[in-house]
Amino acid sequence: MQESMRKFIAFLLLAAFIFLSPGCKTSVSADLPVAAQADVPVGERESGGDAAVSEVTELVVLHTNDFHGHPVSFFNYPAPNVGGLPAISTLVRQIRETHENVLLLDAGDLNTGRPESNLFKAEADLIGYNYIGYDAMVLGNHEFDNSPAVLKRQMDLAMFPFLSANVTWKDGSYVAEAPYIIKDFKGLKVGIFGLTIKETEFIGNPYYIGQMLFHDEVQTARRMVAELKDKTHLIIALTHLGLYGSNDRGSRRLAAKVAGIDLIVDGHTHTRLNEPVVVNGTPIVQAWHWGLVVGQGTFTIIEGKKSGFRWESIPINLKRREKKNGKNVFRFVGEQIEEDTRLVSLMQPYVEQVDTLLAKVVGIAEAPFFYGKVRRSETAIGNLVADAMLWYSRHLSPDFAIQNGGGIRADIPDGEIAKKVLYEVLPFDNSVMVVELRGTDVAALFDYIATIPNGKGAFAQVSEGVSFTLDYETGKCENVMINGGPIDPNRTYRIVTNSYMAAGGDGYSVFKRAVSKYDTSAFQRDVVIEYIMHLGGRIVPRVGGRIKIKRARGTTLGTAFSGDAASIVPEGSVARQWD
């Protein structure tokens, strides 16, 4: 983006921020590093002290989580134009017009999603958040998808603090701008502290988090509550921990083990709730993902003490598809929200530049990668996609990757490869996920693969490290070898797949029996682009050695509608291709 445009936008935002700034003061904890203090835009610092009784009778807490780079409205199958910060802006403004005391929080994972966000490292998202007037955000694990220098730039751009009390550098200083803040609503003091999932130390990119420490969430929370309880009327834990089925993990564990928290605003598991989860008297809320809903919690307060809490989830232009006289019509779920046109124009430069940036050449294909046989046999394009997924997840030590042929929708022609091509090859917004399966379920996975009729979209394309024979006569998968050995029923395997299959799509219900699942939130096409660049930009289609097919006697499998140049390489001749 041109410098003049950047400055202009910064000016507009500042003006908008001053105009929209809610009427409350923020104090930032004393641990805040000096450099970051200047970036916290609002108000005076206070030294705390006894919280006097306030006249405030209601506090509204609005929240989002797992926004994952969706700054403008988008197509979310099957509905067009859902979500987007311009609609969220209108909603927040309406709520501020009718309620005096409103807090707006984000429970982390702002980063990694659509190109309008990714190509500019969440700049559009942060500009939108500034404009809307967020009060605070917690560091999610995906805030470490980029280098610490990018995270620092993001914190500098944000006109609200990034919080986390349990992530420090090895010298003990906080990685976030502050562990907590105290907001003052006409004497009602609200402490908000941040917690980041400790597992980030395993699932984060080790190149970026190597110098950081992730401390126990419960111990840190106890310290935060002790620090805040005498200075505040209400304590909110802004957490990126996740909602799981039991009280020994994530935000439920926090609620079960730490007393004195009035509300947990959570993220990470992309959980869509109809009502708060209450553990040990503490309500836990989460607002699905991608800004598709905004959570609205309301505390009723009597003499500075919480007397009640209610919560709802507000849809952001979600739509239901219905048939009317044989035609598709879309009906709004909840009320239609008009987009804030000023914010639409602030987002416009990013949207426009995506087209230009997608024209960028990322590499050269030495021969075409055809997709015509992706539902029938091993293909060079399927190998490329699966290998890219395996490579991207390498820090999680996966065993192999698997991709449904039907998810691959276009050829990579020979010659220069524009980014746009990969958006056609992989048009779905599916992210790369790592799923942990028991050995017995891995065997069940290959049993299922053998039952998929040849030509169906579910046909498996696999990464290096796996080979098997599909016997269509017996309906069995034979000679399955994973990294040189047969499936061991007594161990678990880490399998990289896409978010569609991980959820059980295309009949892969075996993935629903996963021991654990981790969503990298990186879209497959972006992963393939990164992989091509990692390979030095030149890719050669190669095939063979992964999937052998024994056809049923007397049947033909039909011909694919485009040839695969790669098939000239004899079966079994190439084991490893892309490195």
* Rounded Cα gap, residues 427 and 377, in angstroms: 21
Residue with Cβ nearer Zn ion (141 or 232): 141
Residue with Cβ nearer Zn ion (26 or 146): 146
Residue with Cβ nearer Zn ion (133 or 140): 140
- Cβ atoms 63, 69 nearer than 8 A: no
- Cβ atoms 167, 177 nearer than 8 A: no
Q: Which one of 103-111, 275-283, 331-339, 462-470 is the stretch in contact with Zn ion (CB under 5 A)?
A: 103-111
Indicate the DSSP class of residue 453.
P
Whose CA is closest to 382, among 398, 400, 366, 364? 400
CB of 314 to Zn ion, least distance (A): 22
Residue with Cβ nearer Zn ion (109 or 429): 109
Phi and psi at 39, nearest 5°, equal -85, -10
Q: Which one of 92-100, 109-117, 144-152, 399-407 is the stretch in contact with Zn ion (CB under 5 A)?
A: 109-117
CA atoms in the 13 A half-sphere facing the CB of 289: 19
* Rounded Cα gap, residues 476 and 213, in angstroms: 48
Q: Across the chain, how many H-helices and E-strands are there?
A: 16, 30
* Rounded Cα gap, residues 141 and 205, in angstroms: 9
194 lines the binding site for Zn ion (CB under 5 A)? no
Residue with Cβ nearer Zn ion (141 or 313): 141
What tokens appear for 288 in the block? 């699905």
Say which residue the tokens 């209610």 belong to. Answer: 310
Site string for Zn ion, 285-314 (x = CB under 5 A): ------------------------------
What tokens appear for 437 in the block? 């399966």
199 lines the binding site for Zn ion (CB under 5 A)? no
What tokens appear for 49 in the block? 């002290």
Which residue type sits at 509?
S
Q: Which residue is nearest to Zn ion (CB)?
A: 268
Say which residue the tokens 């972006």 belong to. Answer: 526
CB of 521 to Zn ion, least distance (A): 8
CB of 68 to Zn ion, least distance (A): 9
Residue with Cβ nearer Zn ion (162 or 370): 162
Indicate the DSSP class of residue 346.
H
Whose CA is closest to 290, among 481, 56, 523, 576? 523
Residue with Cβ nearer Zn ion (89 or 141): 141
CB of 107 to Zn ion, least distance (A): 9
109 lines the binding site for Zn ion (CB under 5 A)? yes
Is 56 strand, coil or helix? coil
- Cβ atoms 143, 109 nearer than 8 A: yes
69 lines the binding site for Zn ion (CB under 5 A)? no
375 lines the binding site for Zn ion (CB under 5 A)? no
Whose CA is closest to 7, among 349, 340, 354, 341? 349
CB of 197 to Zn ion, least distance (A): 7
Site for Zn ion in 252-281 (CB under 5 A): 268
* Rounded Cα gap, residues 562 and 54, in angstroms: 73
Q: How far is CA 137 from CA 85, 126, 410, 499, in A?
A: 16, 11, 39, 26
Q: Which one of 79-87, 101-109, 477-485, 486-494 is the stretch in contact with Zn ion (CB under 5 A)?
A: 101-109
CB of 474 to Zn ion, least distance (A): 43
Q: Which one of 5-13, 75-83, 102-110, 394-402 is the stretch in contact with Zn ion (CB under 5 A)?
A: 102-110
Residue with Cβ nearer Zn ion (141 or 383): 141
Whose CA is closest to 121, among 203, 1, 206? 1
CB of 115 to Zn ion, least distance (A): 20
R_g of the chain computed on alpha carbons: 25
Is 202 strand, coil or helix? helix
Residue with Cβ nearer Zn ion (123 or 266): 266
End-to-end, the C-alpha distance of the chain in Å comes to 34
Site for Zn ion in 133-172 (CB under 5 A): 140-141
* Rounded Cα gap, residues 262 and 176, in angstroms: 23
CB of 254 to Zn ion, least distance (A): 15
CB of 270 to Zn ion, least distance (A): 8
Residue with Cβ nearer Zn ion (143 or 387): 143
CB of 278 to Zn ion, least distance (A): 23
Residue with Cβ nearer Zn ion (141 or 463): 141
Q: Which one of 105-113, 199-207, 534-542, 546-554 is the stretch in contact with Zn ion (CB under 5 A)?
A: 105-113
The residue count for binding Zn ion (CB under 5 A) is 4
* Rounded Cα gap, residues 91 and 109, in angstroms: 21
CB of 66 to Zn ion, least distance (A): 6
Residue with Cβ nearer Zn ion (270 or 375): 270
The residues that touch Zn ion, with contacts defined as CB under 5 A, are 109, 140-141, 268
